[in-house]
Copies of this chain bind each other. A is one copy, B any other.
Amino acid sequence: MDVLFQDITIVTMNPLEPVLEHAYLGTQCDKIVYVDTKKPEEPAKKVISGKGHVLIPGLVNAHTHIAMTALRGYADDQTLTTWLFDKILPAEARLTGDMVYHCARLGMLEAIASGTTAICDMYFSAPQIALAASELGIRAHVGNVPLETGEGFNLADGSISDTYELLTRFAEDPLITVFTGVHAVHNSNPSVWSWVNGVADKYNLPFCMHMSETAEDVDSSFRKFGKTPTAALEAAKLFHHPTVAAHCVHLTDEDIAIMREYGVTAASCPVSNLKLASGIAPLTKLKEAGVNIALGTDGVASNNNLDMFEEMKLSVLLQKNLTGDAAALSAYDALYFATVGGSVALGRGETCGRLMTGFDADIVMLDFTAPHLNPCHHVISNLVYAARGSDVELTMVRGRILYENRQFTVADPQKVIADANSLVASVFRS
C-alpha cells in the first residue's frame, strides 16, 4: 500500500463501527484499501504515526462561491439590500477571470488547510475555478448558472459558454464534475428553466440553485408564479435531475415533502444565514422527513471564512435553540451532514464520505493533543463542539496529500496569497 496511518483513532462514519481506536488505515492509489484495528501485514511506502491524532472523512463544503475571498470583509454589517446591490454586485462586476482564478486558489488553500476535500461552487468564470481545483488537487463540483439581472435576462452572460467549456475541458478530470441550474427562482424564469433542463437532459448533469434563502425570495416567487420556490421548481420538472438546493431557510411542510420525494439535498449555510439575517433552516424537520442535508459556508463575503467546523457546530446548536430542545440533533448529525450528506449531495455517496475499504481516499487527520481537545470523553463531541479547522494537520484527496504537518505540498501559500492580494488591491484600492 502507499500510505499507512497507524495507531490512530478513526471516525469511519461506517454505521457498523463508527469509531475505531488504535486502528490502521491504508491507501493505495486513490482508494482506501485497509481499515482495521489489527496492523496490516503488507508493508507501506509511507507510514504516518497517528498517536494523539484522529482521522475523519474529508469535509464537503456543499455550497460556496470560493473566489469571493476577494471580498472577505469588504461589506459587513449592512442590510441585505445594501450589501448585495450597493456593494457585492458592483464589486463582482469588477472581478476578471484572472482574479477569479487567483482568488479561488486562495480560497482552496484555506479550505484544504481546514479539512475540506470537496466543494460545490457556483460562480461566473467557472472554468477558472475548475482549473484552480484541478491544479491544487481538491474536488470541485462547479457550474456557472444563468442569472437575471436588473437589466433583464441574458443567456449570453457566460453561463452557456462556461458550461460547454467545463464539459469539454474537464471531461477526463476525476476531480471535476459539472452542474447546471438556476441562480434562484426569483431571478430566473420558465424560459431559463426550460433551457437548463435541456442541457441537463442532453449531458446528464445535476442541478444546483439557491432556494428559499430569504422570506422575500418566497414572497417574490408567490408574486411571479403563485407558488413557493420549491413548488415552482417542481412544476417546471427541475427536480428530475439530482439537485442541491442551497439555504432552504423558509420551507413549508409541502416543500419538505417535495424535497423528500425527489431526493433534493438541502445545503444549509448557517453562518451566512445568520450574518445576512435570513433565518435558520429547519434542519430538525428536514432530517425527520428524511431529506438529505449537507453544509456549506456560502461565499466569504457573508461568513467570512471557509471553516466547515464552524458550520458543523453552529448547524446543530441553532437547532437546539430553534426547537427549544437541547437534545435536538447531535454532534454525530453535524459530522454526518458535513461528510456523508455532502458526498450524497455531490453524487458520490457510494465512494466518498466514509472511511471504509473501497471508498476514495479523501481523508483528514487532526491533531488532538492541544489543550482545547482534552480530555476526550467522546471523540465526535470534541470534533464538532471543541475543534476548529486549524486542528487539521493533514488533508488527502484521492490518495494525494495536499497538506501535511500543517504545510501545503501543492503550492507556495505566500505566493498564492500575494498574487490574490495584489490583484484585489489593484481593483479595490486604486
Contacts and interface: CB of A to CB of B under 8 A. Distances in A.
Given A274-B320, A388-B388, A113 B371 contact: yes
A109 B378 CA distance: 21
A78 B327 CA distance: 4
**In the assembly, how many copies of this chain are there?**
2
Contacts of A372: 110, 113-114, 305-307, 389
B374 A420 contact: yes
Interface string A358-396: 000000000001111011111001100110111100000
A378 B428 CA distance: 12
Interface string A301-343: 0011111001001101110110111111111000000000000
Contacts of A324: 277
What's the interface size class on A, roughly? 35 or more
Contacts of A424: 375
Contact of A317 (B113, B275, B389): B275
Contact of A371 (B109, B323, B391): B109
Contact of A279 (B314, B321, B414): B321
Contact of A388 (B83, B273, B390, B428): B390
A264 interface: no
A69 B375 contact: yes
Contacts of A113: 370-372
A103 to B, nearest CB: 9
A175 interface: no
Given A73-B382, A388-B389, 6 more contacts: A72-B386, A76-B331, A106-B374, A310-B310, A371-B417, A377-B428
Interface of A: 69-74, 76-80, 82-83, 106-107, 109-110, 113-114, 271, 273-280, 300, 303-307, 310, 313-314, 316-318, 320-321, 323-331, 369-372, 374-378, 381-382, 385-386, 388-391, 413-414, 416-417, 420-421, 424-425, 428
